[in-house]
Each structure stands twice: as C-alpha cells, then as structure tokens.
Amino acid sequence: MQPLFLYNTLTRKKEEFKAINPPYVGMYVCGPTVYSDVHLGNCRTFISFDLVYRYLLHCGYKVRYVRNITDAGHLEGDGDVGEDKISKRAKLQQLEPMEIVQAYTVDFREVMRQFNNLPPSIEPTATGHIIEQQEIAETIIKNGYAYESNGTIYFDVEKFAKEHNYTALTGRKLEDLLEGTRDLDGQDEKRGRLDFALWIKAKPEHLMQWRSAWGQGFPGWHIECSAMSTKYLGAHFDIHGGGMDLAPTHHTNEIAQNLAYCGKQPANYWMHTNMLTVNGQKMSKSLGNSFLPRELFSGIHHLLTKGYNPMVVRFFMLQTHYRSTLDFSNDALNAAETAFDRLHDAYKTLRTLKASDKSTEDIAALQKACYDAMNDDLNTSVMMAQLFDAARIINSTNDGKSSLTRADIDLLHVIFQNFLVDICGVKFEEDNGEAATVLHNVVDVLLDMRAKAKADKNFQLSDELRNKLVAAGVKIKDGKEGSTWTI
Ligand code: AMP
Ligand code: ZN
C-alpha cells in the first residue's frame, strides 16, 4: 500500500500517517453542541471527518472513531463568559435541559444519516463523564497547573506556558494573545488573563449543576474532550479533529490540559477542516447567515431557488479539499448538481458498455491517480477530477470513439464503487439494493422485445415500446451494435 500523507496542524507539515498500534487507529472529533439545529457549516466538518474515517477503513485500518456530544459546559462566549447554551435554551423554552439535548441529538443524528455519514464507534456525552472531568481537574490542581478561586477551578496558563509551548497548535505568539485579551480589573477571580475554567461554580438558578469537592458547579467546555478522548482512546492516540475555528482556544486548551494532567500531548495528528462560508464570511448561527440542512433539501429559504438532494450537497462539499474554504451559493450548488448528474449518468452508462478486444485508455493509471490524490492529504478535489476523466472515457466509449476491454470496464466499476460510493460516501438512489437490479433487468427485457419486434418488421410495436420507455424516463440510444440506455 502507498503511504498516506496527512497535514498535521501541530507541525504545519504534511506527514506520513503511521498508526501508533496498527491496524488500530484512534480518532477523536469534537462533536456538536446540542442546543440548536446543526447548520451546514457544522455538517461540512462532520462530512470531512466521515471522509477521513471512510478512507482509513478503506486502507484496511480498524478505526475507533469517537465523536462527542456536548450537552453541558459550552458557554455562549466560547470561553468562561455567558450562560450555558443548553441551560439558556431550556429556560427560554421552559423545558428540561435534557429535553433540549434529546431533541437536538435526535435531529443531529437524522441529519448525519441523510448525509450518509457513518455513525462513529462511540458517541459519548459531557454529562455522562462528570466524574472523569472532575478527576482530571483534581489531578491538574495536584500537579500545580490549576487553582481554585471561589468555587471555580482555573487553569494557570502563564505557569504552564513557562514550561511548555502553550500556542504550539497555532504558532501564535503568547504576547500577541495577551494583547488581544482584556486586562483583569481586580474583580476577576482568575489570576492570569489567559486562564480558563476547568470547573465553574454554579449560581443557584443554573439548571445543570453537579456536586464536587469545590461545591456545586459544572464542567468547563474544553475539559470534556480531554476526559472523553483519554477514557476511550488513551492518553496518546492517532488523530484529533475538528473545525479550524476550534484550534486557537478549544484545542489549544485541550492540549494544555492533557499535558498538565498526564504529561502527554493527546494526539499524533491534529486535523482541522476549513470553514464553509457565505459571501466569504464563516457560516455561523450567531452571524445569522446559516442554512439548515432541511432548508437546503426542501428549498424553503428566501435565498434558495430550489431544493437539493443531500447527496448533491455532500458531493458539493467533497469537491473542495477539506483544508480550503468553501463558499456556499445557489450557483455553486447548481454547478455541483450538474457535475453530480454527469458522474451519475456515466456510472449508469458503464453498466451497458460493450467490451472490445483492445483498449485505447489506461484505466490502471487513472486508478493510481485517484489513490495518489487521496494519499496526498485526502485531496478529493484532484481525485474527483480523475472521476470526471473516467466519465469522459465512458461516454466516448459509449459513442464508439474509444474502446475498453472487459477488464478495463470492470476496473472502472471498481473505481466508481471505491472512490465515489465507499470513500466519498455518495449514494445513488437507484443503486439501492435489489430494486435497481430488477429495474435494470426489466428495461433489458423490454429492449430485447423491441429489438425482436424491429427484426420482425413490426415497427408499430417497436415504436410503441420505445415511446413508452422514453415516457417512463428511460433514455435510449440506438447504435450499430444495438441499443444502450440510461435513466
Ligand atoms: P459547535 O456545535 O459550534 O461546537 O460546532 C461543531 C463543529 O462544527 C466544530 O468542529 C466547529 O469547528 C464546526 N463548524 C462550525 N461552524 C463551521 C463552519 N462554518 N464551517 C465548517 N465547520 C464549522
Ligand atoms: Zn472538543
């Protein structure tokens, strides 16, 4: 097998992927905060990591993929300010916080299913790991990197930064970070401007709170990922991922916590997906520019001209490399739909291609180019260009302008199945199981009857069969060697 290179945010280089304990791979991805519907930006990140998961599986690894559900501790300000997002929503809707969590978790899983994302191996929740989070906070205090202040536990960033590279993940200068943070005003409980909470003292009206050695409180946002990744993947595992927006704070703090807790940087490879943007701006709920998957599928949104199949949207996302920004627009989606149909048509035509003794094309080289692209940091954009080349070859063979042997046609089947269906996770509706095979056979039977009617000079029957098949949505192409068809 050829080596797989992945871009590692931590070293800012593409590095050959070497599993710690092959064939096993541990991968942790930061999951959604289940206080509202997931928007398409969130979906891009989860689709990108589904691609990573699928490709590792395709390469023969046995992957334990852990993606958490954040159901407590994520405050409105992404730091230590504001209300807990879930508690706030529960108060507004006069519901139990766990009703909010349940409703949005169910919705999230349904959206992931619609996008054909494989379910992770483990989907742990922050509220299910309160004890583990408290234990980590306790150990960090014991190790001297955290302190209690009025029932809240803060991580001492300045102390940590004297011994470790706190900004290793982003390469930013600590002084620049300090400059961007407001001065403490004497009212603050924390000692340093960059200190962040591991455990937060709860006010009596706070809905989700737990008993601890430091009084009633709830966990900080970053510590849940340290607790759940360590519990299920160990102190040092293979891949940690999330959206690029998580690197400067959430992941930077997670690395600091793990080092302070057990002396280990948690993951060998840190992978970050770039943002889905709208007119160049990050798609985000708080900016009010977010689209929900169901709005896109139904087309019910004032900025959309129509609805799109979830597979077209998935294809649209994967046509761009995961580390590039992707701008969302009607035009871009329409272009993706046309391209998707072109590949789909070619894939269907492939089934009816007639083999020749000689080939004019190098399909093995095309397959190699697909692997080369995927092994180059999962470059789906370049890989898909190869699939379009395959589509061109299929169409030109169908038109009699080039020729393929049976082995080439079979290899093209393998290429489409591997790269488009298994690795990119694109599902074609009529390829679902037996129904597609039956449909295929029925059209062949009708076309045989039509050919027989023609041979018997029963043109009335042959025309009738043709017209009825066309009306039913079957495109028929008559050639010297017989008829081919697509839907
Ligand atoms: P959240 O529910 O806000 O914690 O986000 C869940 C995941 O979606 C995180 O990995 C974020 O980095 C990611 N994310 C949020 N907005 C976008 C966006 N516009 N494009 C891509 N990923 C995003
Ligand atoms: Zn996380």
- Give the ranges where 251-379 is alpha helix by DSSP (H): 252-262, 293-298, 310-318, 330-352, 363-375
pLDDT in tens, 371-418: 999 999 999 999 999 999 999 999 999 999 999 999 999 999 999 999
Q: How confident is the model at residue 185 (pLDDT cuts 50, 70, 90)?
A: low
For residue 241, is pLDDT > 70?
A: yes
Q: Which of 75, 100, 221, 245 to mutate to test the pocket of ligand 1 (most atoms within 8 A of CB)?
A: 245
User: With a 6 A CB cut-off, is 249 part of the ligand 1 pocket?
Assistant: no
Name the one residue in this structure whose structure tokens are 């959430």. Answer: 250
For the domain that residue 373 is a member of, what is the CATH number?
1.10.730
pLDDT of residue 476: 85
For the domain that residue 214 is a member of, what is the CATH number?
3.40.50.620
User: With a 6 A CB cut-off, is 275 part of the ligand 1 pocket?
Assistant: yes
Atom of ligand 1 nearest to the CA of 32: 2
Atom 14 (ligand 1): residue with closest C-alpha? Answer: 42
CA 12 to CA 319: how far, in whole Å?
23
CA 466 to CA 265: how far, in whole Å?
66
Where in the sequence is the domain holding 446, given as residue range(s)?
433-486
Give the number of the ligand closest to the Cα of residue 221. Answer: 2
Asked whether residue 352 falls in the same domain as residue 377, the answer is yes
Q: What angle do CA 78, 82, 86 make, to 5 degrees?
A: 80
Residues whose Cβ atom is located within 5 A of ion ligand 2? 30, 225
pLDDT of residue 319: 98
44 or 186, higher pLDDT = 44
Asked whether residue 59 falls in the same domain as residue 188, the answer is yes
Number of compact structural domains in the chain: 3
User: With a 6 A CB cut-off, is 10 part of the ligand 1 pocket?
Assistant: no
Asked whether residue 412 falls in the same domain as residue 464, the answer is no
Asked whether residue 418 falls in the same domain as residue 444, the answer is no
User: With a 6 A CB cut-off, is 32 part of the ligand 1 pocket?
Assistant: yes
Asked whether residue 210 falls in the same domain as residue 99, the answer is yes
Asked whether residue 418 falls in the same domain as residue 455, the answer is no
pLDDT of residue 320: 98
157 or 435, higher pLDDT = 157
Asked whether residue 127 falls in the same domain as residue 46, the answer is yes
pLDDT in tens, 289-329: 999 999 999 998 888 889 999 999 999 999 999 999 999 99
Asked whether residue 184 falls in the same domain as residue 154, the answer is yes
Output the pTM of the full model. Answer: 0.88
For residue 28, is pLDDT > 60?
A: yes
Count of other CB atoms within 10 angstroms of residue 105: 18
For residue 432, is pLDDT > 60?
A: no
For residue 8, is it within any domain?
no
pLDDT of residue 434: 55
Asked whether residue 178 falls in the same domain as residue 321, the answer is no
Tell which of 423, 445, 464 closes a domain. 423
